[in-house]
Structure 1
C-alpha cells in the first residue's frame, strides 16, 4: 500500500486495539460471567434494537423540531415528510437558514466529534476494520444534533446514515462498557446499524441485508441472529410510535401492472439499469469533486461550509419562487412521493430536479456537512426513473413504461449503484410495495446498476472516502480457507520493471492505450530492485499531476521479500512482524537481480481477495 502516512489528526485519534488477553485477565465477577453467557449476548442485541428504534423515532422528531425552528421560528415536532413544506415565515431570509445551521454543525463537529462529519457509514466501516470496532459514545449525541440541524435548516442530505452511525456507536459503546470480545463488539455494531435502517424505513429484512452486505465481517449464526433480533425489535418499536406504514406510499394498482410485462418492457428495464449505474457514478463523483474543490479553495472550515450552505439556500429559495415548492431541501421525501404518485411527469422539470439535487447534495456534504447519502440516492433514483419513463413513452409509446414503476425501480438501482448494497436496494423497495410481482424488474435494474458501476470502479460512495485515507475495505467475505492458499494466487496487478531515472510522464506514455489494470512498478538501480510503487499509489500520483518527478523519488523501500510458494497465513504474519504493507515474491527469497522477483503483493490485494479482518493485518496488533 501507499508509503504515505495518514494525516496526523487521524493517526492521533485512532484508538488502540485492546489486547484480548489483557481484557480476559482483567474481567472478573458479573461482567466475566455475562461475557460467557450466550443468552445475555442475545439480550444485548434485543436492547440495542430497542435503543435503535427509539433513536430513529427521536431523531425524526429532532429533525422536525429543527425544521420548524429554522423555517417558521416556532418549536414543534409535527411535520409530514411526505408533504412539501409550507413557505417559510422568513420569505427570502430562508436563504440564510442553511448558513446559520451550517455554522452550528461545524462548531459541534470540530469541538466534540470530528468523526460525526460526513455521511456516517464510512466511519462505521473504518471503525470496524481499522479501530477494532471502537466508536466513541459522544458520536451518538453529536451526530444526532449535527445532522438534524443540517437537515432541518435545509441541507440536502439524508437521515439514514446518521441513524446507522448512531445505532452502531451505541452497540460499540455498550460492548466497550461490558468489555465484550471483539467479535461480539463487531456483532453489536452490525446489529445497531441494521436496526437503524430497519426502523427508519420500516423494512426489517432490508436492515438485515444491509448489515450483511456492508457491515458484518463474519456471516454465521452467532452474528446473524443478534442482527435479526435487533432489526426485528427496532422495527416493532418504530411501528409503535410511527405506525405500520412504509416510508413511501407506492400505489398497489400500479405495481400490480408488472404481473404481465412484455419483452419490450424488460428491454426497457435493462437499459434503465445500465443508465442508473451511470447516474450512480455521477452521484458519487460529484460528491467527492465538490469535497476536493471546497478543501482546495477554502482552508477555514466555517467559511467553507457557510459559503456552501449559502449556495444551497439560494437554490431552495429560487426553487420555491419559480415552482411553488422547495423540492430539493432536506431529505426530499415529498418529492419522491410526488414521483410515486405520478404528479411529476414533465421531462424538463424532472431533469432540473435531478441535476439540482445532485448539486446541492454534493455541496452540503462536500463543504463539511453532516448527513446521509441514502435519501439523496433514493431521490435521484426516483426522479431519473420517472425521467427515463417519460422520455421512453414519448419516443417509444408502444413500450408503455409506467412512470411510477420506473421511479421505484430507479430508487433500488441507485442504492445498488452508489452504496454497493444491491440486494438491500431491491428488497427494500419490495418491502415497501409489498407486491411480489415487482421483484423481477427490481432484480434486473438493481443488479445491472450495480454491475455498471462495478465495471467502471470497485469503489462505492462509502469506500471511496476510506480509500482516500489509504484505508481499504474488502469487497467480499470468504472462508478462512484462503489463509492456507499460496500467496501467488492473490496476485492482482501486473508488474512493471523500470529504472529509477524514468519519470511519471514516461510511465503514462508506456501505459497509454493498454487495456489492463494499473501495474505495480518495481524500481531498479541497474539490475537490482531498490523500491516499489504500488498500483493504487501510482493512480494517486497520476491524479496529482507531477509528470517530471522520477520513480526513484517516489518509490517505497518499505517491503519484505518472501518465497513465492509461501502460504497467505505466513505472509500476513511476516507483514505484521515487519510493519510492512508490500511483499515481493521471489523464487528463492533472494533479490540480487530483478528477475528473481515474480510479483508484488500488497495488503490491498489481500484484503480484496481474502477478505481478512483489518485488525489481522495491523502492525500494532502484533
Structure 2
C-alpha cells in the first residue's frame, strides 16, 4: 500500500472520528516537534563548524572564513538550490499574503544549510530568521499534506515559527508572542492553543536534546533599582534612534552591494569588505552573543583585546570608543553579509547592537560619575530589548524574550518602559517594521487593520476579465452595430481595429435615439459614435489600483489593455460580487 493511499485512509478516518478543531491542535503539535528538531539541527551544525574553525591555529586564518562562507552560500543558493535568499521572514509574509500560505518544500532545509554555512563561518548575521523560515515551511507543508485550508495553513506557519524561536532560545512564551506579533498579526482566541502547544513542544525537544545549550542566556546578578527609572527612559529613546539607524544603514548597504549583478564577484567583494571590518572590530565576527556575554560578566576589556590591533589597550574610555565603533559598523557588516549572498537574519544583530547600546549608555554614565552608578548588565539586557522592539516592531516579543533568557521577571518594569519608548521613537521615523516595510510599499502585503484591501488583494484581475463582449470595427456601419445588439446580451461594444487595438467604446445609450433610423443605419459609422474610455487597466495590475481607477472615474466598466491589445472588460459589479464571496468564505474559515 502506497503512502498516498495510507494518507487518504487516515484523512477519511480523521473526518469520521476527529473534529477539525482537535485535528488542527494535533497537527500544530506535530509541527512543533519537527520545528524543535530543526532548531536543534541548525544550532548543532553551526557549533560544529565553529568548533572546527577554532581548531585552526594559523594567525588571522579566521578572517578568510567569512569570505568563504558568503561565496559558498551564494553559489549554493544560485546554482544548486536555485532560490533568492534575502530576508527570510519577509519572504514568509509574502507567501502568506500572496501565495495562499503555500511555501516551497525546499525551504524546509535550504535556509538551514545556507545559514549554517554563513553564520558558522563568521557572517555577521543571526540564525533566528533562517530557522523561523524553516519552521514556517515545515508548518505550511505539513498543513498541505493534511489538506488544511488557507487559514489553517497560515496557523501552521505560525506554529512552525513559534516552535523555531522557542527551540532556539528555550523561550516558549516569546515564541508564541513572536508568531502573533510578526507572522500572523490577525489571530483569534482559538488559534492560541495550537501555537502554545507547538511552542512548548519545540522548547521541550531542544531541552531534551541540547539541555541548557541555547544561543543566549544569562542569570541576573543585579537588582532593579526604582531610582534608575529616568535613566531607562533616556535609554528607550536612544534605543529607538539606534534601531532607525540600524534599519536604514543595513538596507542601504544591501542595496549598494546588490549593484554588483554577478553572483561570484558580489560575494567576493562583499566578503572582503566584511573581512576588513572584522579585522578592525573583531566582535563583529559571527552573531556576537559571546561579546554580549563578556560584557554581562564584567569583562568588557576582553572584547577589545579580541581585536589584534588593540589587544594591549585597556583605557576605559577607549573601550567606550571601541564599543561605539562596533555600534556604528554592525549595520554595515550585516548588510554586507546578506547583500553579498550570505544567509541570515537581523534578529541577532538587533539584539547585539541593543546590548552594545545599553552597555555604552551605562558605561559613559558611570565614567562621568553622575549622581549614581547604574548596573552595566541590567542596562545591557534592557538595551537588547529596546533595539529589537524598534527594529522588529515587536515590543512584546522583545520584553518576554529578555525576561525568559534571564530566567526571571526582575527587569520586567524597565523592559516594558524601554520597549514602549523605543518602539514609539522608531515608529515616528519608520512607519513599518524592517520585515514589512518593503512588502507594504510594493503592495504585496496589506496591513492587518485594512480588511477591505486584504480581501481585494485575494481577487485576481485576470479572473475578473469579461471576454464575451462583441466587438465592432471603426469603419463598420450603425446597421452592423444594430445586428450585434440583437445578438448580444450586453450593452457595451468595444471598437477595435484589425490589430486588436482598442479605439473606443460604444454603449447602448450612445445609439438609442438613432438606432432605428434607416437612413442613419446606412450612413453613420462606428468611429463617429464611439467615445474614449475614461481609463484603462492591465491584467497584471493590483486590485487596489484598479478600484482606485473606478473611484476616480466613476465608471462601472473599464477596458483591459495588455501590450497595446484589447483583452476584455472588467466590471465593478463583478468585482463586488467576488469581494462578497471572498468575505463570506473567510468568515466561514
TM-score (structure 2 length as normaliser): 0.71
CA distance in 1, matches of 2:408, 2:25: 32
Conservation of the 8 A alpha-carbon contact between 1:48 and 1:170: yes
Aligned length: 455
Conservation of the 8 A alpha-carbon contact between 2:218 and 2:407: no
Say which one has the larger Rg: 2
| Aligned position for 1:211 | 179
| Aligned position for 2:158 | 190
Conservation of the 8 A alpha-carbon contact between 1:157 and 1:371: yes
- TM superposition outliers: structure 1 runs of 4+ over 6 Å: 478-483, 586-591
Matches within 5 A, 1:389-468: 389-395=362-368, 397-467=370-440
1:315 counterpart = 2:277: yes
1:582 counterpart = 2:582: no
SS of equivalent residue, structure 1 residue 582: helix
Post-superposition Cα deviations, 1:244-276, rounded to whole Å, max 9, x if no partner, equal 47643434331x2x1x411xx211111111111
CA distance in 1, matches of 2:81, 2:449: 31
1:278 counterpart = 2:234: no
Post-superposition Cα deviations, 1:267-303, rounded to whole Å, max 9, x if no partner, equal 111111111111101111111101111122x110221
CA offset at residue 401 of structure 1? 2.1
Conservation of the 8 A alpha-carbon contact between 1:273 and 1:448: yes
**Change in CA separation of 1:115 and 1:417 when aligned onto 2, cut-off 3 Å:** farther
Matches within 5 A, 1:432-581: 432-467=405-440, 469-474=442-447, 476=448, 576=543, 580=546
CA distance in 2, matches of 1:367, 1:581: 39
| Aligned position for 1:379 | 352
Pick from 332, 344, 351: which aligns with 1:359? 332
**Change in CA separation of 1:479 and 1:584 when aligned onto 2, cut-off 3 Å:** closer
SS of equivalent residue, structure 1 residue 48: helix
SS of equivalent residue, structure 1 residue 118: coil
CA distance in 2, matches of 1:153, 1:436: 35
1:287 counterpart = 2:253: no
1:339 counterpart = 2:295: yes
**Change in CA separation of 1:433 and 1:246 when aligned onto 2, cut-off 3 Å:** farther
CA distance in 2, matches of 1:107, 1:414: 33
**Change in CA separation of 1:108 and 1:466 when aligned onto 2, cut-off 3 Å:** farther
CA distance in 1, matches of 2:441, 2:256: 15
Matches within 5 A, 1:135-284: 135-244=103-212, 247-254=215-222, 256=223, 258=224, 260-262=225-227, 265-284=228-247
Post-superposition Cα deviations, 1:436-495, rounded to whole Å, max 9, x if no partner, equal 331111011111111111111212111134246542341x45889999xxxxxxxxxxxx
Conservation of the 8 A alpha-carbon contact between 2:71 and 2:341: no
Q: Which is worse superposed, 105-114 or 359-368? A: 105-114
Which residues of structure 2 form unaligned runs of 5+?
1-6, 301-315, 456-533, 558-578, 584-589
CA distance in 1, matches of 2:105, 2:554: 50
CA distance in 1, matches of 2:326, 2:118: 20
TM-score (structure 1 length as normaliser): 0.68
| Aligned position for 1:31 | 11
Pick from 43, 62, 77: which aligns with 1:60? 43
Conservation of the 8 A alpha-carbon contact between 1:415 and 1:421: yes
